[in-house]
Amino acid sequence: MTWGEGARVPEVSEGSVVDGRYRVLQRIGSGGMADVWLAEDAHLQRRVALKVLHSRFSQDREFVERFRREAEAAAGLQHPNIVAVFDRGEFEGSYYIAMQHIEGRTLKELIDAGLTPEQAVGLIRQVLEAARFAHRHGVVHRDLKPQNVIVDGEGKAVVTDFGIARAGVSEITQAGSVMGTPHYLSPEQAQGMDVTAVSDLYSVGVILYEALTRRVPFEGESAVAVAMKQVSQAPQRPSSIDPRVSPALDAVTMRALEKDPGQRFQSADAFIAALDAALKEPGTTGGTAAFAALPPVVAVPEDEEPEEEEKRHNRRRWLLVAVAVLIGALIGFLLTRDDTTGVPSVTGNQLGVAISLLQQDGFSVGEVKRVENKASVNTVLEQDPLPSPPANKASLECAFLTLFCSKPKVTLTVSAGPGSAKVPATAGLPRAEAEAKLKRAGFGIQVENAHSGSVATGAVIHSTPSAGSTATRGSNVILTVSSGQKLAKVPVLVGSQRSVAVQQLRARGLVPSVSEESSSSPAGEVVHQAPSAGAEVEPGSTVSIVVSKGREKIAVPNVIGKPRPEAVAALREAGLSPTVQEQETEVPSQAGRVVDQFPPPGSKVDKGTEVNVVVGKLAAEPVEPNKPTVP
């Protein structure tokens, strides 16, 4: 069966025999991709570490194929600081790698026990040696962490787990996820971007940080939280946690942890050189060479043969000629040699990193000038000589007619920070004038508006920090500018009871003016207001409200005894609605006049109430029967 074919995946356990060769003794580790077992190699009678791929990956043909290719690449890495891969293959659908078994403690255990800075650098240097070798062979580890480094009893560090590294252009991931340990992932790896050798160096930087401080740069409640911090936050400097960490070692660690891959060490060699430089005392040493004197001329004994003396004389003459030619050639070389050198660019780096970069190229730092600048403290702003390219190369410092030259000292101008200044007084000034004053003092400006009854609109009420206090140049000063007196909004009053309306107005600082009028609305209810609801007025303004007295009551006039037309006219004039009812009467004086009314005279009734009046009408005389005629 070939790699990647589907098959039943057996359970590996103690006592199992894998591939007819490896007898499993005990589990010694487990990770996200595989379990690691201590096994006995029956063929070579040696113990090995047997890594068996988890069953969920064994069913993924594409994943297994990548695992196979990259295991083959890892098997070619033969280096003292890289665990040896002896064998790889498959067993009944399960895929394994047989590796060198190393007895010792993990680097994580040593870090937890405590390391000196020198011990930490020594171990990290070995990890970098392993990474350098792997990178030169096109293999990126992708999961460097102290748990994957084993240190034997002699102090040799060996990096494990190269079997699942990236070789060439392949990349092992779970679908939709990034494999690796969040605390040691590079920012680009945490974002699912391409992983390069520089990503491995970031992980080594995290291990270095942990070895120096006994803590990782970023902690979080979840893997996602840690990954977000890797991408967006800067770590605390190691020296602020352990004062034994030197500024130079601080700078090396912080450069290794740069978010931008282009700002990190670009190779393990550069990282190692920076660590070596950090452990040395600052400054450079050198010396001059002396030329040995020519051997003295040997006198010829008097009794020597003339022929022999001639030969000896010729030899001396040719020797002198050769020396003269050699000296002439040397002088010509010294006068025509290229005595210039390129200077690396260190502007934009922190001072410690800049010093390390210059020392790596054989330069020493001369004067360090500090100037106030907006850049962060110790950021290199300028260098002299200028970097080349684009500038011309710098001249070497050579003594006249000597073979030895030294590179010039580099003067660095670094930021001392923006400095500080007193906040000028701006209270009462117009906004534009106040802003100009703050800009001249070197401050940024932030404006907030607030109402004020005492400061004119557009003028400054106060500043934060206050006038006369000291603040960092470039920091923002908050100007609180008056937007005038705060206006009161007239509430909705129509429909409210009189007492409620008055209370609402007084609560807003307004003065109620109340009048009454008759209305069909219930008594005590507000029927009109001025200004209308929603209008904004100055505090203390008067708001008029009209309150209903209810319907108007009318006294019923007395129309009894009045002629019918006059009575009807009087009731209508009073705002009442008359109705007329006739009643027969035998009293002639009551005919056509009101004999009764209801409601009675003087009654209080609503306007328009119906009043019934009774008008007298003479009764008809009875007709007598015809009397018989008397003839």
Query: DSSP of 395-412, one letter per residue?
Result: EPEE-TT-S-EEPPPEEE
Phi, psi of 247 (to 5 degrees): -60, -40
Strand, coil or helix: 308: helix
Cβ partners under 8 Å of residue 469, min gap 6: 422, 423
SS3 content of the chain, % helix, strand, coil (to 5): 30, 25, 45
List the beta strands (DSSP E) in 132-267: 139-140, 149-151, 157-159, 166-167
CB 465 within 8 A of CB 477: yes
Nearest-angstrom CA–CA distance, 328 and 534 = 104
- Which residues lie closer than 8 Å to 48 by C-beta, 6 or more apart? 22, 38, 39, 40, 41, 86, 87, 98, 99, 100, 101
Q: Side by side, which strands form the sheet with 365-371? A: 365-371, 410-415, 380-384
Q: Which two tokens stand for residue 500?
A: 């409620």
**Rounded (5°) CA angle 525-505-531:** 80
Token output for 283: 């400054």
**Strands 610-618, 526-530: pairing kind:** unpaired
Distance set, CA 355 to CA 232, 365, 435, 551 (Å): 27, 7, 41, 98
> What's the rounded Cα separation, in Å, for the pair 282 and 364?
9
What is the H or E stretch that residue 369 is in?
A: strand 365-371
Q: For residues 107 and 34, is the Cβ–Cβ distance under 8 A? A: no
CA distance 67 to 164: 6
Nearest-angstrom CA–CA distance, 81 and 151: 10
The residues that are catalytic are 143
User: What are the E-state strand segments in 459-556?
Assistant: 460-464, 470-472, 476-482, 488-489, 511-517, 526-530, 536-537, 542-548, 553-555
Please answer whether residues 443 and 435 qualify as being in contact, where contact means their C-beta atoms are separated by less than 8 angstroms.
no
Q: Please tell me the distance from the alpha carbon of residue 432 to that of residue 272, in angstroms, as a whole number.
A: 56
Q: In what order do the strands lie in the sheet with 22-30?
A: 17-18, 22-30, 34-41, 46-53, 94-100, 85-91
Cβ partners under 8 Å of residue 67, min gap 6: 53, 57, 95, 163, 164, 172
493, two tokens: 């009053």
Cα–Cα distance measured from residue 44 to residue 32, given in angstroms and rounded to the nearest whole number:
30
